Amino acid sequence: MKAAARDAEASTPLRALARGGYAANGVVHVLIGTIALAIAFGGQGEGDQSGAFRAIGDAPLGFLALWLLAVLLWALGVWHLVAGVAVSRRSDVKKWAVRVAEFGQAIVFVALGVISASVALGARPDAEQTAEDASRGVVAIPGGAVLLGAVGLGIGIGGIAFVVMGVRRSFRSKVAIPPGRLGRAVTVLGVIGFIAKGVSLAIIGVLLVVAAVAVDPAAAGGLDGAIDALLGVVGGPFLVGFVGAGFVAYGVFCFFRARYAKL
């Protein structure tokens, strides 16, 4: 299986599609950031992946764009899956840590592709309602509250990891940063983007932990719920504006990653 995975990893078509997947991910993040900025200035919208895909679907020939995004995101998911299987030359602990990270990213990108395809087929998914329904189902099973809390904790830790990657600029190990001013600009975009995305994930994790402790699925939420939570604190619009700008920065960084990613 590893040999087949390494052959697939070396495939030029899969590499090209994976790069396209990073660009597709950039489109999604730029749209989410734009919606969040609109909300920060008093506008309306759903600042999550579903809202971004629906915005694309409402544009002329939007369904074609949605299918293109779906295919590219699926390809990127396959790339991460293959990369996880092909991991070698590491200690067992590091090997499995890398595999877990790669498999996790594969699930995320495949799920995004599914959302894009479902919107192209006419569905109107509600991420917040889905999060609440899923939390309600988990809480209903024996030990479900503990499981939901563990999921929230894991997402929160993932958010902290994004912040750390932004602060330490460790994302540069995955991207061949170009020299000169362009490279400095890409680095700044990465720092801002990773920190903003990390903050959002951390808030989502907190919402899930709160839902688990209170055994209240209605307290759970996704990205749109995280934005609503930020709006409810002192300086909320400013914080939402920062997150929105950060997501736009992360999206633009993804465009550069499509070109300079180390595959």
pLDDT, tens digit, for every residue of 197-220? Answer: 898 888 888 888 877 777 666 666
Q: Please enumerate in sequence order all residues whose Cβ is within 8 A of that of 18, keeping only pairs 6 or more positions apart, or say none.
A: 75, 76, 78, 79, 261, 263
User: Mean of the per-residue pLDDT values for the chain?
Assistant: 83
pLDDT at 55: 87
Report yes or no: 15 and 82 within 8 Å, Cβ to Cβ.
Answer: no
d(CA 125, CA 180): 43
Assess whether pLDDT exceeds 70 at residue 3: no
pLDDT at 243: 87
CA atoms within 13 A on the CB side of 131: 25
Q: Convert the pLDDT of each residue in 74-121 to its tens digit.
A: 999 999 888 878 776 555 657 777 778 888 889 989 989 999 999 888
Domain boundaries defined on the chain: 2-260
More confident residue, 45 or 180: 180
